[in-house]
Amino acid sequence: MKIAIVHYHLQPGGVTRVIENTLQAWEENGNEIEAVAISGRTYPGDRLTNTRVVRGLDYASPKEAIDPKVLTERLRESAKDALGQAPDLWHIHNHSLGKNPSLTAAVSMLAESGERILLHPHDFAEDGRPGNYLSLSEVYQRAYPTGPNIHYAALNQRDRGFLAHMLKESPSPVHLLANAVPPSTPFSESQEDKTWNLPENLLLYPVRAVRRKNLGELALLASAHHDFHFANSLGPTNPEFTPIFEEWKQFGKELDLPLTYGLGEHTDASFPEMVGHAQSILSVSVAEGFGLGFLEPWTFSKGLCGRNLPDITSDFAELGVSLANLYDRLPVPLDCISSVTQLKETIQSALEQFYLNYQQNLPQDGTETAFQSMVANESIDFGRLDEPTQQEIIRVVAQSPELQQGIQKHAGLEVLAKDIIDRNKQAVAEQFSLTSYAQRTRKIYQELLAIEDNFSCQFANGQLLLDQYLSPARLNLLRTS
């Protein structure tokens, strides 16, 4: 079985790691699969032994993008040169992300020519990336080819469901293909830990600061839990987020909260030492792709507490990973907000700008739909609010023992028992191992190769996908800019 794996680049990061793990999985499990990884940049690593660079495959704006016919021919020639023959099938990552419209068009050409293709989107131009979406305007009608020879693979149940809805009239199936989670060496607390000056009773949020990581919720939890110390690990690299990050740091100091933003920048302790010292790992993110943060802590032999994302993690429980201690929403009373009218105006403005960025028409009841999706029982989900509103609420909570008790009750933060941690660690090891991943990908490949020739290619209506991601009921004010 000869496979051509395609991505814009093979620089260190999420998709490259997935490709590296895929090939390692096949090698370790004796699968008779020969693969080449084709990208637009030279691979800087050493885990992939068969790679090719194709000019014109790297990120490119519509003005910079090469002729799709040229790119298609280069892909074919490169794959044939590396494999000794044309590939049995193509495994293409993020073809519709809007990073290079020529790749999107080239995939449509491969599909129309009858190639067997597995399209593997990790991220979507339709999901809060209007610039990417608009870069596809000339090719968007052909962005999602369909046919029995074209399969899709999604990282989570939400994306799988959205894709399946778009493809419901087509013969293209959508597989759930969660990433592998290689085992980690358990981190242990350093015997000389005190020299690192790490806070006691630490709940560590091991993420770099970006807006969707919902840093304000750390401050809310810190305002209600005085027995824990809350911290995220690293500051931002995106200069656009630096002012907000600095504002949160100052806000925490002003309220004297048991809270450190960018803990790694305040200690000489390594990341393993910070994890080893922590009582538990914490997550309050409001948006993820695969959901590695919900699985990796168990491989460290650490528990997890905080916010759940059910549309990402819903299948984890079926695979034996219990996240029952996490909360799906963190409600705070509406009367903590001085002006609900002002909040609705903020929602209206965010929706108008969001839909304008996508050149779509905002539904007439969009603002009320968004607001009602945030509210239940006279309370609103804290994690869906913008930073000024979050800070207003935290100031109120910090002065109210009654509200603090309510936050404690709903958050349910605790250090999990060892047997729970061990069970989840075992489930992750079994269900998300390289072996399991190798078996799943091979099964999809075999289904594709079993398809008889003489099939036709159609194109799905991408508007059906966009409408699902752009729905006002999904609005989160931390993801509107």
Has residue 372 got a pLDDT over 70? yes
Model pLDDT for residues 225-275, shown as the tens digit of each residue = 999 999 999 999 888 889 999 999 999 999 999 999 999 999 989 989 999
Helix (H, G, I), strand (E, B) or coil at 436: helix
Is the pLDDT confidence value at 193 over 50?
no
Give 108-111's long-range contacts (Cβ < 8 A, gap of 24+). Answer: 108/68, 108/139, 108/142, 108/143, 108/145, 108/457, 108/459, 109/68, 109/69, 109/72, 110/72, 110/75, 111/145, 111/147, 111/149, 111/150, 111/457
pLDDT of residue 187: 58
| Band (318; pLDDT cuts 50, 70, 90) | confident
Q: Looking up tokens 């809270």, which residue turns up?
A: 259
Q: How many residues does the chain have?
A: 481
Local structure of residue 301 (DSSP, 8 states): T
Give the Cα separation of 389 and 60 in Å (integer).
38
Q: Mean pLDDT, to the nearest integer, of 209-227? A: 96
Query: What is d(CA 444, CA 422) in angstroms, rounded to the nearest whole number?
Result: 31
pLDDT at 370: 97
Q: What is the mean pLDDT of the chain?
A: 93
Side chain identity, residue 18: V
Query: Residue 53: enclosing H or E segment and its boundaries?
Result: strand 51-53
Residue 387 has pLDDT above 70, yes or no: yes
Q: Which of 118-127, 173-182, 466-475 has the lowest mean pLDDT?
A: 173-182
Alpha-carbon distance 210 to 166, whole Å?
30
What is the rounded average pLDDT of the residues 30-58? 93
What pLDDT is recorded for position 317? 86
List of residues 6+ apart from 32 with CB closer than 8 A: 1
Query: Alpha-carbon distance 395 to 384, whole Å?
Result: 17
Q: For residues 437 and 367, which has the higher predicted lDDT (pLDDT)?
A: 367
Rounded CA separation 83/437 (Å): 23
Q: Which of 360, 387, 357 is nearest to 476 (CA)?
A: 387
The reported pLDDT for the residue numbered 306 is 98
Work out the pLDDT band at 191, boundaries 50, 70, 90: very low
Q: CA-CA distances (angstroms) from residue 423 to 281, 308, 402?
A: 16, 19, 36
Per-residue pLDDT for 32 more than 70?
A: yes
Sheet of strand 379-381, all strands in order from the earlier edge strand to the far edge: 331-333, 379-381, 375-376
pLDDT value of position 452: 84
Among the residue ranges 30-44, 66-80, 180-194, 420-434, the one predicted with the least confidence is: 180-194
**pLDDT above 90 (res 282):** yes
Q: What is the pLDDT of residue 185?
A: 67
**pLDDT above 80 for 454:** no
The mean pLDDT of 102-125, rounded to a whole number, is 96
CA 388, 390, 392, 394 torsion-angle sign: negative
Q: Which residue has the higher pLDDT, 410 or 186?
A: 410
What value does the mean pLDDT take over residues 148-163?
A: 95
Edge-to-edge, what's the strand order for the sheet holding 34-39? 51-53, 34-39, 2-6, 89-93, 117-120, 150-154, 174-176
pLDDT tops 50 at residue 169: yes
pLDDT band per the 50, 70, 90 thresholds, residue 65: very high
pLDDT at 188: 57
For residue 26, give both structure tokens: 């096949």
Determine the pLDDT at residue 6. Answer: 97
Higher pLDDT pick, 182 / 446: 446
8 Å CB contact between 125 and 149: no
> At how many degrees (to 10) do helices 101-112 and 68-83 cross?
70
Cβ partners under 8 Å of residue 258, min gap 6: 199, 222, 225, 226, 228, 229, 230
| Helices 215-224 and 401-411, packing angle to 10 deg | 120
- DSSP 8-state secondary structure symbol assigned to residue 457: -
What mean pLDDT is predicted for residues 343-368? 96
